[in-house]
Structure 1
Amino acid sequence: MKQLWLLVAVQATVAAASLVVEIVAGRMLAPYVGMSLYTWTSVIAVVLAGFSAGHWIGGRLAEGTPERALRANGWALVLAATTTGGAVFALRGASGPVIATLENPLAAIVTLSLLVFFLPSLFAGIPAPILSMIAVQAHPDRKGRALGAMFAAGAWGAILGTLAAGFLFISWLGSVGTLAVVTVVYAVLGLQSLMAAGGLRDLGAGVLAALLPGGLAACALTLPNPCTVESDYFCIRVIDATDDPRFPVRMMVLDHLVHGIADATEPTAMLNPHVMMLDGLSRLRMEGRAAWSAFFIGGGSYTVPRAWAAMDLPVAVTVAEVDPSVTQVAQEHFWYAPGDHRIVHADARQTLQREDTTYDVIVGDAFSDIAVPQHLITREFFELVDSRLNPGGVYLMNVIDHTDRLDVLASLVRTARTVWPSVEVWADPAHDPRVTRRVFILLAGETRSPRTRIHHDGPLPADAVRVSAASLDRILEARDPVLFTDDYAPIDRLLGDHGEG
Structure 2
Amino acid sequence: MAKRGRKNKTSGPQPGTHQLTDVTAEIVRDLDTDAGWMLLLDGVPNSYLDLDDPTHLEFEYQQWMGRAVDLHEPEADVVSFVHIGGGACAFPRYVAATRSGARQLVAEYNPELIALIREVFGVRTGPGLRIRAGDGRDVLAGQHSASADVVVRDAFVGPVVPPHLTTTEFVTDVARVLRPTGLYLANVTDGPPLALARAEVATARKTFEHVALVSETPVLKGRRYGNLVLLASPAPLPTSDLARLLARSVAPTRVLEGPDLEKFTAGAVVTTDDAPLVPPAPPPHLIR
Cα distance between partner residues in 1 of 2:16 and 2:269 = 36
The structure 2 residue matched to 1:496, chosen from 271, 281, 286, is 281
CA contact (8 A) 1:414 1:482 kept: yes
Q: Distance in 2 between matches of 1:474 and 1:280?
A: 25
Counterparts of 1:338-349 in structure 2 under 5 Å? 338-340=125-127, 341-349=129-137
CA contact (8 A) 2:68 2:242 kept: no
2:143–2:177 contact (8 Å) kept in structure 1: no
Q: Which amino acid aligns with 2:137?
A: R
What is the TM-score with the length of structure 2 in the denominator?
A: 0.82
Report 1:320-399 matches (<5 A). Answer: 320-340=107-127, 341-356=129-144, 358-399=147-188
Q: Given that residues 394 and 443 in structure 1 are in contact (C-alpha distance below 8 angstroms), is that contact kept between their aligned partners in structure 2?
A: yes
Partner in structure 2 of residue 238 of structure 1: 27
Q: Is the 8 A contact 1:297 1:319 kept in 2?
A: yes
> CA 1:304/1:430 → structure 2, altered by over 3 Å: closer, same or farther?
farther
Instruction: Report if aligned partners of 1:454, 1:463 keep a CA contact under 8 Å in 2.
Output: no
Q: How does 1:62-461 map to 2 (within 5 A)?
A: 228-242=17-31, 244=33, 247-340=34-127, 341-356=129-144, 358-402=147-191, 404-428=192-216, 436-450=224-238, 451-453=241-243, 455=245
- Output the CA distance in 1 between the equivalents of 2:126 and 2:244: 29
* 1:430 to 1:249, Cα distance in 2 relative to 1, 3 A: farther
Contact 1:227 1:235 in 2 (8 A): no
Q: In the alignment, which residue of structure 2 is the partner of 1:180?
A: none
Letter in 2 for 1:362: V
Q: Is the 8 A contact 2:219 2:225 kept in 1?
A: no
User: Structure 1 residue 262: deviation in Å?
Assistant: 0.9
Question: CA 1:292 to 1:309, structure 2 compared with 1: closer, same or farther past 3 Å?
Answer: closer
From the superposition, tell whether residues 265 and 452 of structure 1 become closer, same or farther in structure 2 (CA, over 3 Å). Answer: closer
State whether residues 218 and 224 of structure 2, in contact with CA within 8 Å, keep that contact through their aligned partners in structure 1. no
Displacement, 1:462? 8.2
Q: Which runs of 5+ in 1 are unaligned?
A: 1-225
* Residues 61 and 229 in structure 2, CA contact (< 8 A), matched pair in contact too: yes
From the two aligned structures, give the one with the greater strand fraction: 2
* Mean CA deviation greater in 247-256 or 372-381: 247-256
Please give the per-residue CA displacement for 1:213-254, whole angstroms capped at 9, x wherever unaligned.
xxxxxxxxxxxxx9722222321111112155xx33111111
SS in 1 for 2:208: coil
What's the offset of the Cα at 1:299? 0.6
Matched letter for residue 259 of structure 2: A
CA distance in 1, matches of 2:234, 2:64: 19
Which structure's residues are more often helix, by fraction?
A: 1
Q: Against the structure 1 CA distance between its residues 228 and 432, is the aligned structure 2 distance closer, same or farther, given a 3 Å change threshold?
A: farther
Distance 1:325 1:461, change over 3 A: farther
Offset at 1:264?
1.9
Number of aligned positions between the proteins: 266
Where structure 2 has 5 or more consecutive residues not aligned to the other structure, the ranges are: 1-14
Task: Classify 1:500/1:243 alpha carbon distance in 2 versus 1 (closer, same or farther; 3 Å).
Answer: closer
Q: Distance in 1 between matches of 2:165 and 2:40?
A: 21
Larger-Rg structure: 1
Which one-letter code corresponds to 1:262 in the other structure? L
| Equivalent-residue separation in structure 1 for 2:281 and 2:73 (angstroms) | 36
Residues 497/349 of structure 1: CA separation in 2 closer, same or farther (3 Å cut) = closer
Mark the CA change 1:490 to 1:431 in structure 2 (over 3 Å): closer, same or farther. Answer: closer
Which one-letter code corresponds to 2:281 in the other structure? G
Q: 1:347 offset after TM fit, Å?
A: 1.1
Deviations 1:58-80 (A, max 9, x none): xxxxxxxxxxxxxxxxxxxxxxx
Measure, in 1, the Cα distance between the counterparts of 2:53 and 2:123: 12
Deviation at 1:375, TM superposition (A): 0.9
